[in-house]
Structure 1
Amino acid sequence: MKTGLIILAAGSSSRLGRPKQLIEIQGKTLIQRAVEYALKSKSNSSIVVLGWNPELIRSGFDSTQIPSFINENWEEGMASSMQVGLRYLMEKEQLDQVTLMLCDQPFVDTKLLDQLILAKKESDKGIVACAYSETLGVPALFDQKYFEEMLALKGSEGAKKIILKNREDVFAIDFPLGKIDLDTEADIERLKDLRS
């Protein structure tokens, strides 16, 4: 099974007021951590999708390690960034499935990414999603039968729409720390407390 992985890092972090992709945790930027976890995972190919100020964000990770693609329409919302990444990977190789991850969920790691792949194989479900905050979300892995649906999303619609619409074909992995993303300075402070 060929697994592609898309790291979504196109947003402007408008609520935070500075690029969250470049927030440092334990000496590494969030985007560098995401790239390293992705590359160590059992995925066959990975891509980073950039949007807002791509050169600045590229300075936060080793861009020789992983291809990055600029979504010129990033302001339209998450759907277009996901689609840019998916189209790129589909052209590159015959994908069987794809994982979506965000760079601002600091507790996502290689172990979790590999768990998604294993759970899909063992559960025989078309989607594996993470369960947190009484919902299902990313990181999530989608079988190729959902690629067309993913390519049909619009604007700020994200993968969650497909997950919730196809609930009977979803295997959920408990990931309570998935609810922690870094949208405000308070979130970053809380993360420091959690880590200490």
Structure 2
Amino acid sequence: MRTAGVVLAAGAGRRFGKPKALVEYRGALLVDRAAQVLAAGGCAPVLVVLGAAADEVRSRAQLRNVSVVPNPEWPSGMGSSLRAALTALDDEPDDVVAAAVLPVDMPGVSAEAVRRVVAHTAEDALAAAAIEQRRSHPVLLGRAHWRAAAERAIGDAGARGYLRAHDVTLVSCDGISEGFDIDSPEDLADG
């Protein structure tokens, strides 16, 4: 059984002022950092969903050992990126039974947190990292949930509504991962 990694990196980063995939944090672009964390956490394959400034991201990012998934519907929000990724994963072999989803703007997530969540891999799994008992990322979606989660992924909510309607195993990642996200240039100083 394998778990795919999914980096949601298609947004324009309106509040930030540019696509977050192109933001440098501690010497690496956020998009490369997220892909590397998923790979180091045991995910294979790793998919990176691109939309806004996709050509620039492709030229500046390293994107090693990843599959790029284009999202032409990126202006409609993160939900379209999740749908694009889950649709692309339908083409993966049956031994890919789950997907660990990570937004590009969460550089505090560690490979160890990914490993802990991926340890719950099963076709019917729903799990998420938890920081101080609050759901965080990555979120693990078993293959049995992909279609229904994609149908409910509307606007900027991603899988949030789907997860609220189901039991999700919370995996404690206190002390090994940070749940902050980068929404503005000021957040770079806080991380």
SS at match of 2:163: helix
Mapping for residues 96-175 of structure 1, pairs under 5 Å: 96-118=97-119, 120=120, 126-132=125-131, 135-153=134-152, 154-167=154-167, 169-175=168-174
Residues in 1 aligned to 2:183 and 2:66: alpha-carbon distance in whole angstroms: 25
Where does residue 63 of structure 1 map in the other structure? 63
Mapping for residues 175-194 of structure 1, pairs under 5 Å: 175=174, 178-191=178-191
8 Å CA contact 1:32–1:60 kept in 2: the answer is no
The alpha-carbon deviation at position 39 of structure 1 amounts to 2.4
Residues in 1 aligned to 2:114 and 2:68: alpha-carbon distance in whole angstroms: 19
**Cα deviation code 1:117-172 (max 9, x no counterpart):** 11x159x98211122476423211111221121121222332222222113x4233
Q: For the structure 1 residues 181 and 42, does the alpha-carbon distance in structure 2 shift closer, same or farther, using more than 3 Å as the test? A: same
The aligned amino acid for 1:112 is A
The alpha-carbon deviation at position 46 of structure 1 amounts to 1.2
Residues in 1 aligned to 2:179 and 2:172: alpha-carbon distance in whole angstroms: 13
Residues in 1 aligned to 2:163 and 2:190: alpha-carbon distance in whole angstroms: 29
SS at match of 2:147: helix
SS at match of 1:108: coil
The aligned amino acid for 2:55 is E
SS at match of 1:96: strand
The aligned amino acid for 2:5 is L
The aligned amino acid for 1:45 is P
Residues in 1 aligned to 2:105 and 2:23: alpha-carbon distance in whole angstroms: 9
**Cα deviation code 1:59-88 (max 9, x no counterpart):** 332235211011000111111111111111
How high is the sequence identity, in percent, across the aligned residues? 23
Q: For the structure 1 residues 29 and 147, does the alpha-carbon distance in structure 2 shift closer, same or farther, using more than 3 Å as the test? A: same
Where does residue 194 of structure 1 map in the other structure? none
The alpha-carbon deviation at position 101 of structure 1 amounts to 0.5
Mapping for residues 20-39 of structure 1, pairs under 5 Å: 20-39=20-39
The alpha-carbon deviation at position 32 of structure 1 amounts to 1.2
Residues in 1 aligned to 2:49 and 2:93: alpha-carbon distance in whole angstroms: 17
The aligned amino acid for 1:113 is V
Greater CA deviation, 148-157 or 94-103? 148-157
TM-score for the superposition, normalised by structure 1:
0.85
Residues in 2 aligned to 1:11 and 1:151: alpha-carbon distance in whole angstroms: 17
Residues in 1 aligned to 2:22 and 2:110: alpha-carbon distance in whole angstroms: 17
Where does residue 82 of structure 2 map in the other structure? 82
Structure 1 residue runs of 5 or longer lacking an equivalent are: 192-196
- Is 1:73–2:41 an aligned residue pair? no
The alpha-carbon deviation at position 175 of structure 1 amounts to 4.5
SS at match of 1:85: helix
Structure 2 residue runs of 5 or longer lacking an equivalent are: none
The alpha-carbon deviation at position 45 of structure 1 amounts to 0.9
